[in-house]
Structure 1
Amino acid sequence: MRILVLGGTVFLSRAVAAAALQAGHDVTCFARGTHGPPPPGARFVQGDRDGEDAYSDLREKWDAVVDVTSEPRHASEAATALGSDAGHWTFVSSCSVYADQGTPGQDESAAILSAYDGEGPAPREKYGEAKVACEQVYASALGGRALIIRPGLICGAGDGSDRFGYWPARLARGGTVIAPDIRNAATQTIDVRDLAAWIVRSAEAGLTGRFNALGPSVSFGDLLTRVAEITGFTGEFRWCAPSWLARQGVSYWAGPDSLPHWLPEGFEGFATRSAAAALRNGLILRSVDDTIREVLDDELDRGLDRERKSGLTPGTEQRLVGQTPVS
């Protein structure tokens, strides 16, 4: 197949390009190239989706196109320029499109947010609405040729968000670890390799429709137990009451001085969505241990003490440990 990846140089889109190459396909990546090259073996077309006539070098017949954008204008322009020449189109959306994040076990039939209708890139707090708008663009323009995938949290080598990698890296450093006492809360993290491989197989099969793509359901306590065993952690967990952490200014989920996987009240359904439809249609999930090992190796390569986009800084953690916030 001739596959065009809009992106192909960063995390998920790069993993898709790599999976497609491994499967023997002819892969073209279209990106600015500011974050590095595409995988070896891919054809690289340098360009900027914000530029004039951005897709002029891509007006060819494509068996499949893959896009991960969260900008509705980019989706609209790509659909207009390339949609008629694409046999199959995959858009990677997000479970953030759902209006109800509090009800466990929901599937793809759950209500979604209203589409973002603002000008230009959507602000961060409108990420879900922006993905809805992109979904609508592709569903309208591609019709029966569109596959819309809604992942939850994605992790793996090259993840720039640190939303999963924080924990293997932190436990590998040892010492006393501040953790939210949400040991029974569910987590669902999909390995980027599994998601990318399924995207390629779905394009090969011509799969269309809407699918949640989620990793194995594991409690937070069990996840940290597995991370501790794999990293050889011999330190101490300081399990802290969520209410106490919130009062200390610790952030949920992601960002500076956050604790990944910790979500506020009202998000009990975020990591408990159903991926049954995707699993029936070829999604294959590796073990959590396999994912942890891959992420740990990547963290060791990148440096355990590097600056992170998510997680507690050593200074903040030391301050919290000193205040003995035991639940």
Structure 2
Amino acid sequence: MSKVLVLGGTSWLGGQIAGHAVMRGHDVTCLARGESGEAPTSATFVQGDRDDPTAYEKVLDQRWDMVIDVSRQPGHVRSAACVLGGAASHWTLVSTGSVYADQSGPLTEASPLLDPLDDEVAGPETYGEGKVACEEIVRSLPNHLVVRVGLIGGPGDRSDRLGYYVSRFALAGDEPVLVPDVATQPMQVIDVRDLAKWIAEAAEANVTGIVHGAGERTTVGDLVRLSAEAADFTGEQVLAGEDWLRERDVEEWMGPRSLPLWLPASHYGMGLMDDARSLERGLVRRPLAETLADTLTYERDQGLERQRKAGLSRDDELELIAQLKP
């Protein structure tokens, strides 16, 4: 049994990682504010705000076989590495494909990066630069693993991205649904459960270096098709062109009044992340259809008509469809 410290561990991915480590028989501690949820059953929860320099005092008196950090803030990663780096045999940082300077084409782990953020706090507009800075800090540690993840999906997704189409098809039934006309856009989605399991096992196996954590390559068209099949959708998919959507202030990718997962060509690389290295290191991924079916179950539990963090309201969607098909 190893001693595992998850810096986080109460939110979505961090909680899944901690849970898998518990299931593998490890002694798991989660250090977090505890505002995003609860630590997994059988894990020890240590409340700590990483903005506070004393946050790590309760975990300083022991040596850690594995530390796993999901933070995007350079200040948090720097303070943890400085205080705990000498007490950890292996350190994992969960990073992102957003670190790459040119995201328009295929991405490998050796692709050029953005300049690191010269600040301790990253905002939404400097997310990628902030993660580059986090990576630089962790790469100074002797035994480290950096996992650059792509789009994560599955039950519990708080961004509401992947669940948008499957839940909208389920809600619409035999009525029309608006879909961006980007069927050939590359797309990769990794199930949070598969990613978390692999991260926990890779840390346990002392895997080091930089590696992508991304789903199998597919397209938006295939993802939408599988979503419709999972929801038994019998209505019409109404295609809307990218320029038409932008003219009506429909956003790309995520957020309010968006059509999720639609990306500009400048970011197609987020669906073209090389997965060879991760597969060599044991990553196993379930079929996307299974992820979507489980996501729909979660979406039904949350309520298909709830206000979402990503996507169009049904009324707004129908109004746009009426403009396309007067």
Q: TM-score range by the shorter chain?
A: over 0.9
Alignment RMSD, CA only? 1.2
Equivalent-residue separation in structure 2 for 1:72 and 1:83 (angstroms): 15
Aligned to 1:320: 320
Equivalent-residue separation in structure 2 for 1:222 and 1:276 (angstroms): 22
Aligned to 1:173: 171
Deviations along 1:245-303, one digit per CA (max 9) or x if unpaired, are 11111001011111111011322222111111001111111111111111111111111
Partner-residue secondary structure (3-state), 1:17: helix
Q: Which of these residues, 60, 73, 76, is aligned with residue 74 of structure 1? A: 76
Aligned to 2:17: 16
* 4+ aligned runs moved over 4 Å, structure 1: none
- Structure 2: tracts of 5 or more residues without a match: none
Deviation at 1:122, TM superposition (A): 1.6
Equivalent-residue separation in structure 2 for 1:7 and 1:130 (angstroms): 17
Amino acid aligned to 1:210: I
Asked if 1 retains the 8 angstrom alpha-carbon contact of 2:227 and 2:292, the reply is: yes
Equivalent-residue separation in structure 2 for 1:13 and 1:306 (angstroms): 25
Equivalent-residue separation in structure 2 for 1:76 and 1:204 (angstroms): 23
Deviation at 1:325, TM superposition (A): 6.2
Equivalent-residue separation in structure 1 for 2:53 and 2:150 (angstroms): 33
Aligned to 2:272: 272
Amino acid aligned to 1:265: A
Deviation at 1:168, TM superposition (A): 1.3
- Structure 1: tracts of 5 or more residues without a match: none
Q: Which of these residues, 92, 97, 100, is aligned with residue 99 of structure 2? A: 97
Deviation at 1:35, TM superposition (A): 2.0
Deviations along 1:17-40, one digit per CA (max 9) or x if unpaired, are 111111111111111111221111
Deviation at 1:52, TM superposition (A): 3.2
Amino acid aligned to 1:21: V
Aligned to 2:86: 84
Aligned to 2:202: 202
Aligned to 1:43: 44
Partner-residue secondary structure (3-state), 2:243: helix
Equivalent-residue separation in structure 1 for 2:170 and 2:28 (angstroms): 37
Partner-residue secondary structure (3-state), 2:270: coil
* Aligned residues between the structures: 322
Kindly indicate whether residue 161 of structure 2 is the aligned counterpart of residue 159 of structure 1. no
Aligned to 2:65: 63
- Scaled by the length of structure 1, the TM-score of the pair is 0.96
Deviation at 1:158, TM superposition (A): 1.5
* Percent of residue pairs bearing the same amino acid type: 45
